[in-house]
Amino acid sequence: MALDSNLPRVLVSDKLSETAVQIFRDRGIDVTFDPSIGKDKERLLAELPDYDGLAIRSATKVTEKLLEAAPRLKVIGRAGIGVDNVDIPAASKRGVIVMNTPFGNSITTAEHAVAMMMAIARQIPQANASTHAGLWEKSRFMGTELTGKTLGVIGAGNIGGIVCDRAHGLRMKVLAYDPYLSEERAAKMGVTKAELDELLHRADFVTLHVPLTDKTRNILSADAILKMKPGVRIVNCARGGLVDEAALAEALRNGHVAGAAFDVFAEEPATENPLFGLDNVVVTPHLGAATSEAQENVALQVAEQMSDYLLTGAVQNALNMPSVTAEEAAVMKPWLKLAEHLGAFIGQMTDEPIEAINMLYDGAVAEMNLEAMGCAAIAGVMQATNPDVNMVSAPVIAADRGVRVSRTTQPQTGVFEAYVKMTVVTKTRERSIAGTVFSDGKPRFIQIKGINIDAEIGRHMLYTTNEDVPGIIGTLGRTLGENGVNIANFTLGRSEKGRDAIALLYVDDVVPEPVLTQLRDTGLFGQVRPLQFDM
pLDDT in tens, 172-216: 999 999 988 888 889 999 999 999 999 999 999 999 999 888 889
Looking at the chain, the whole-number percentage of residues with pLDDT higher than 70 is 99
Domain 458-535 homologous superfamily, CATH: ACT domain (3.30.70.260)
How would residue 1 be classed by pLDDT, with cut points 50, 70 and 90? very low
Query: Of 27, 233, 239, 460, which residue is the catalytic one?
Result: 239
Q: Which tens digits make up the pLDDT trace of 221-270?
A: 999 999 999 999 999 999 999 999 999 999 999 999 999 999 999 999 99
Exposed, middle or buried by CB within 10 Å (0-12, 13-18, 19+), for 110?
Answer: buried
Fold held by 9-103+293-312: Rossmann fold (3.40.50)
The pLDDT score that the predictor gives to residue 213 is: 84
**In 3-state terms, what secondary structure has residue 202?**
helix
**In 3-state terms, what secondary structure has residue 12?**
strand
Contact 108, 290 (CB under 8 A): yes
Contact 455, 435 (CB under 8 A): no
Give the separation between CA 425 and CA 465, rounded to whole angstroms: 20
The CATH 3.30.70.260 portion of the chain extends over 458-535
Q: What is the mean pLDDT of residues 83-89?
A: 89
- Residue of 535 and 523 predicted with greater confidence: 523
Name the residue among 91, 33, 40, 137 with its Cα closest to residue 319. Answer: 91
Exposed, middle or buried by CB within 10 Å (0-12, 13-18, 19+), for 105?
Answer: buried
**Residue 268 annotated in active site:** yes
Looking at the chain, the whole-number percentage of residues with pLDDT higher than 90 is 74
The CATH 3.30.1330.90 portion of the chain extends over 322-448
Give the separation between CA 121 and CA 123, rounded to whole angstroms: 6
Phi, psi (deg, nearest 5) at residue 493: -160, 155
Give the separation between CA 89 and CA 80, rounded to whole angstroms: 19
**Residue 407 annotated in active site:** no
Q: What is the mean pLDDT of residues 32-54?
A: 94
Name the residue among 448, 336, 343, 356 with its Cα closest to residue 406. Answer: 356
Please state which of the ranges 6-15, 34-43, 144-153, 393-402 shows the lowest mean pLDDT. 393-402
- Report which residue type is found at 45: L
Name the residue among 411, 406, 436, 442 with its Cα closest to residue 421. Answer: 436
Q: How far is CA 308 from CA 27, 323, 329, 403, in A?
A: 9, 12, 10, 32
The whole-chain average pLDDT of the chain stands at 92
The pLDDT score that the predictor gives to residue 283 is: 97
pLDDT for 5 beyond 60 = no
Phi, psi (deg, nearest 5) at residue 249: -60, -40
The CATH 3.40.50.720 portion of the chain extends over 9-103+293-312, 106-283
- Report which residue type is found at 152: G
pLDDT for 4 beyond 60 = no
- 53 Ramachandran zone, left/alpha/beta (phi>0; psi -120 to 50): beta
Concatenated DSSP letters for 451-497? EEEEEE--SEEEEEEEES-TTHHHHHHHHHHHTT--EEEEEEEESST
Query: Of 78, 209, 233, 286, which residue is the catalytic one?
Result: 286
Q: What is the mean pLDDT of residues 36-54?
A: 94
Q: What's the full length of the chain, in residues? A: 535
Give the separation between CA 233 and CA 260, rounded to whole angstroms: 5
Spell out the residues 6+ positions from residue 8 whose beta carbon is closer than 8 angstroms to its own.
28, 29, 30, 52, 53, 310, 311
- Report which residue type is found at 174: V
CATH architecture of 322-448: 2-Layer Sandwich (3.30)
Q: What is the mean pLDDT of residues 456-460?
A: 93
The pLDDT score that the predictor gives to residue 2 is: 41
Fold held by 106-283: Rossmann fold (3.40.50)
Name the residue among 229, 207, 200 with its Cα closest to residue 115. Answer: 207
DSSP state, residue 28 = T
Spell out the residues 6+ positions from residue 180 whose beta carbon is closer than 8 angstroms to its own.
157
**Residue 239 annotated in active site:** yes
Helices and strands, number each (H, E), in the chain: 17, 22
Concatenated DSSP letters for 251-270? HHHHTSEEEEEES--SSSS-
Beta bridge partners of 121: none
Query: Of 250, 268, 296, 417, which residue is the catalytic one?
Result: 268
How would residue 476 be classed by pLDDT, with cut points 50, 70 and 90? very high
Give the separation between CA 232 and CA 258, rounded to whole angstroms: 6
Helices 292-312 and 326-349, packing angle to 10 deg: 50
